[in-house]
Amino acid sequence: MIDVIDNKYFYLHNGAVAYLFGLLPNQQLGHLYYGEDLGELSADDLAYLTLHKNKASGTVKYSKKIKNFTLADHMQEYPTYGTSDFRESAISLEANDTYLYPDFKYDHFKITTGKSRKITVPASYGNDSENLTIYLKDTERQLELELSYSIFEESTAIVCKAKIVNYSQFEVEIKNLQSSVLDLPTANYNFLQLSGAWTKERHIITRPLTQGITKIESLRGASSHQENPFIALVDKNVTNDTGNIYASNLIYSGNFISQVEVDEWGQSRLMTGINPATFKWKLAPNQDFSTPEAVLFYTNDGFNGLMAQTHDFVTKHIIDQKWQKRDRPIVINNWEATYFDFNEEKLLKLATQAKQLGIECFVLDDGWFGKRDSDNSSLGNWTVDRKKFPQGLDHFSAQVHKLGMKFGLWFEPEMVSADTELYQEHPDWVVRHPYKRYSVGRRQYVLDFANPAVVDNIYQHMAKIIENAQVDYIKWDMNRNITEAYSPYLHSINHPQGEFFHRYIQGVYHLYAKLLTSFPDLLIEGCASGGGRFDLGILYYSPQIWPSDDSDAAERLDIMSGTLLAYPLSTFSNHVSAVPNDQVKRITSLKFRQNVACFGPLGYELDLGKLSTEEKNQIKNWIRWYKENRKLLVNGTFDQLLKFDPSQNTYAWSVSNSNKQIVGFYRKLARPNETLDQYLPLKHLNDHQKYQINSDQMVSGRVLQKFGLREPYQFNASNPDTAQISGDFQSYLYQIKTIDRKI
């Protein structure tokens, strides 16, 4: 999978993809190719791939042998600014307030196999990986740069990271150190991003690349609702199943930047990593610093090809494998059923009703601790509210377990309220600038997770509760962005405040690691005021994430469509909520809500006591069906069947395995005589196999793949007896099964 040719060219390939780079005349690294596997390369192939004529007039004299050479138009692996290349660089260093222009030249390489899963830092893993590390040295400044690459069997993903080591006797300040760079020879792509806002996360936005910089970023201390670290460069004529796409994602949850710069010759430079706008790191002698890993993806099979790659990678190389083997529990969350107005008796009644319907886990949301009757108090006071639980939380948990259900609990561990002992006793544990003016969000403050003592204190509180109440499931929330970032701890150890944001998210990961080390079977659902940290860093610890505080099924269609470009169905936590929906006040049918929420881990978040007997029976029957199909709906191969469109009114997607496929069809608003441009062409079927559609029609796999699946009959004035869907917010599920007949 990794070939080193003439100790000069480095060729990562696996039959699905190839990534090629080599030494430039100045002994730096030049990028040559990323795309479909090129097979065995000859000397003539390499000569052709490395042929280069200077487009730029200015050149740099490196030595007597290297005179007519410039980096201005070269594709590079890890560029530096200012030495004939004036594009933004992957690395910026200073020493004694002097900007450095490092000259990292190739020294040697190392190849290893396999990557173990280490819980301390989120990173890719897998026994099927081969890993290449290139060591480059700047001898004048006594610095070493290590560039690491990993390739996996049957995946087009290339995982990259950078590490810098200071072997000098002087302190160096890192201002910028990106995780990966991908230089491409053209700019004929659209830039695709997943953007939005709170309750409107990860909508698909595209714009054409032009000369200059196109970027997204977060400066909020989290990957954010507004942007996501995933970006893609897509062919302008891309379809669901055809067209080249290059994409990148970052295994990181803090401030990030993902950008593409197009130069005057139409070359594109994609970079992703920690956002340098809020970053400064003191690198003392004999110390090192490593970036988070970035992942590059390539496909020539359009959006479905991209999702096949991203979903497979996240499933096999990010999420803990045990969660692929265990069924995700169907939950009832009390939040929209009760908000803060509850006691043990009320909750136990809800849990009992849930159990009767087949629900498997009761999740107690916000309001169980301190004097938390609103979101204005008690964060950091993790003592049980005895007014709500007179016999303690462990007693309530025991009652839930006695019903045969798992018990889940809400925490917001990174925050503190002013009315708590924690806040009063440790004012130096709060993120707050020493200025008199400071900002407050939601009447709560952010704890300084850059300080290890803070993380250890919160761990002790959480671990005691988890153990005593036998908690099986945690919903980990985070409802406030970081303002006036300042760490008293960093000030006390004489480190720059530019280290804060990175050290903060490292503290979050450290708390995750401590909890999962002590409670390895604990299922943690990530949440950040909804989908404010839906990223690979959180997924490394939390196999599923609450995608948005907007639980409206119609809104979730757009949120899911965008999110699924980068993250598999198994990562979603989908709840059926009450109507009118609390976020948008929309009324949709129970059928529509369940038909959307069933794709991925299923949950409910409504007052079951307010439902009619008919609605309860509908949920009970639905849950029975869901359990029969859970493995397929959570872990099946996902495909979009209709084209992405910002003004989309109709949606269709499928999940499939070797003998079954479930197709979901949705239309938001009814329009007279609206039909699809084509029937729904299916994939992953056997041309010579017979299939049964909804225990009714039988048809060959060949016809379903080439002709397609007919859309459900929509109501109009002339067909009231035959219509399968009607009104606004339509939904219809197809179940397609193999039968014991071949043709």
Distances (CA, A) of 58 to 25, 73, 105, 533: 16, 11, 21, 44
341 is annotated as an active-site residue: no
From CA 271, how far away is CA 75, in angstroms rounded?
Answer: 13
Q: How many helices (H) and strands (E) would you count in the chain? A: 15, 37
Q: Is residue 742's pLDDT more than 70?
A: no
Least confident of 71-85, 123-137, 595-609: 71-85
- What are the tens digits of pLDDT across the range 478-515? 999 999 999 999 999 999 999 999 999 999 999 999 99
Residue 476 among known ligand-binding residues: yes
Is residue 717's pLDDT more than 80?
no
**716 annotated as belonging to a binding site for a ligand:** no
Residue 677: the pLDDT is: 77
CB atoms within 10 A of CB 77: 24
Output the pLDDT for position 59.
57
Which class in CATH covers the domain with range 77-318? mainly beta
Q: Is 366 annotated as a binding residue?
A: yes
Tell me which residue of 393, 312, 413 sits closest to 348, measured CA to CA.
393
The answer to whether 475 is annotated as binding is yes
What is the reported pLDDT for 674?
Answer: 81
Can you give the pLDDT at residue 64? Answer: 61
Q: What is the pLDDT of residue 63?
A: 60
Ligand-binding annotation for 478, yes or no, is yes
Predicted pLDDT of residue 454:
98
- What per-residue confidence (pLDDT) applies to 66? 72
Distance CA 114, CA 500 (A): 32
User: How far is Cα 259 from Cα 272, in angstroms, rounded to an integer?
Assistant: 6
Closest CA relative to residue 611, chosen from 357, 372, 251: 357
Q: Is 328 known as a binding-site position?
A: no
Q: Is 45 annotated as a binding residue?
A: no
pLDDT attached to residue 741? 61
Q: Which residue of the set 103, 472, 477, 550 is catalytic?
A: 477
* DSSP-assigned states of every residue in 320-333: -THHHHSPPPPEEE
| Residue 316 pLDDT class (50, 70, 90 cuts) | very high
pLDDT digits (tens, 9 = 90+) for 37-85: 999 999 999 999 998 877 776 555 556 667 778 898 899 999 999 888 9
Burial 185-214 (b: 16+ CB within 10 A, else e): eebebbbbbbbbebbbbbbbbeeebeeeeb
Instruction: Count CA atoms within 13 Å of residue 208 on its CB side.
Output: 7
Active-site residue, 552 included = no
What residue ranges do the domains of the chain occupy?
77-318, 650-739
Q: Look up the pTM and report it.
A: 0.96
- Confidence band of 555 (pLDDT split at 50, 70, 90): very high
pLDDT given at position 60:
58
pLDDT at residue 721 tops 80: no
Written as six digits, the tokens of 86 are: 């004036």
If you search the block for the tokens 């007179």, which residue do you land on? 390
Tokens 């079951």 found at: 608
- Which residue out of 549, 552, 558, 639 is catalytically annotated? 549
Please, what is the Cα angle at 722 between 719 and 723, to 5 degrees? 80
Evaluate whether 77-318 and 650-739 have a shared fold: no
Question: Shortest CA distance to 214 belongs to which of 88, 34, 81, 30?
Answer: 88
pLDDT of residue 198 exceeding 70: yes
Q: Is 549 annotated as a binding residue?
A: yes
Give the pLDDT of residue 62: 58
Q: Is a pLDDT exceeding 80 seen at residue 28?
A: yes
State whether residue 472 is helix, strand or coil: coil
User: How far apart (Å, rounded) are the C-alpha atoms in residues 541 and 126?
Assistant: 16
List, for residues 221-272, the tens digit of each pLDDT value: 999 999 999 999 999 999 999 999 999 999 999 999 999 999 999 999 999 9
pLDDT digits (tens, 9 = 90+) for 653-682: 999 998 999 999 999 999 887 888 779 999
**Looking at beta carbons, which pairs linking 514-520 to residues 24 or more positions away fall under 8 Å?**
514/455, 514/456, 514/459, 514/463, 515/459, 515/462, 515/463, 515/466, 515/474, 516/119, 516/541, 517/119, 518/463, 518/466, 519/463, 519/466, 519/467, 519/471
Percent of the chain with pLDDT over 90: 88
Question: Residue 29 has which token pair?
Answer: 């690294």
Q: What is the pLDDT of residue 726?
A: 85
| Residues 22-46, mean pLDDT to the nearest whole number | 95
Query: Looking at residue 325, what is its pLDDT?
Result: 87
Average pLDDT over all residues of the chain = 95
CB proximity list for 683: less than 8 A, separation 6 or greater: 241, 304, 639, 654, 656, 705
Q: How many CA atoms lie within 13 A of 589 on its CB side?
A: 16
User: N- to C-terminal Cα distance for the chain?
Assistant: 40
The Cα–Cα gap between 688 and 670 comes to 37
CATH of domain 650-739: 2.60.40.1180
Name which of 461, 477, 457, 271 is nearest 367 in CA terms. Answer: 477
Instruction: Check residue 609 and report its DSSP letter.
Output: G
The lowest-confidence range among 420-434, 451-465, 600-614, 700-714 is: 700-714
Contact in structure between 80 and 90 (CB atoms under 8 Å): yes
Is position 462 annotated in a ligand binding site?
no
Per-residue confidence (pLDDT) for residue 61, from 0 to 100: 55
Percentage of residues in the chain with pLDDT exceeding 70? Answer: 98
Which pLDDT score, from 0 to 100, does residue 305 have? 98
List, for residues 167-187, the tens digit of each pLDDT value: 999 999 999 999 999 999 999
What type of residue sits at position 155?
Answer: S
- How high is the pLDDT of residue 695? 83
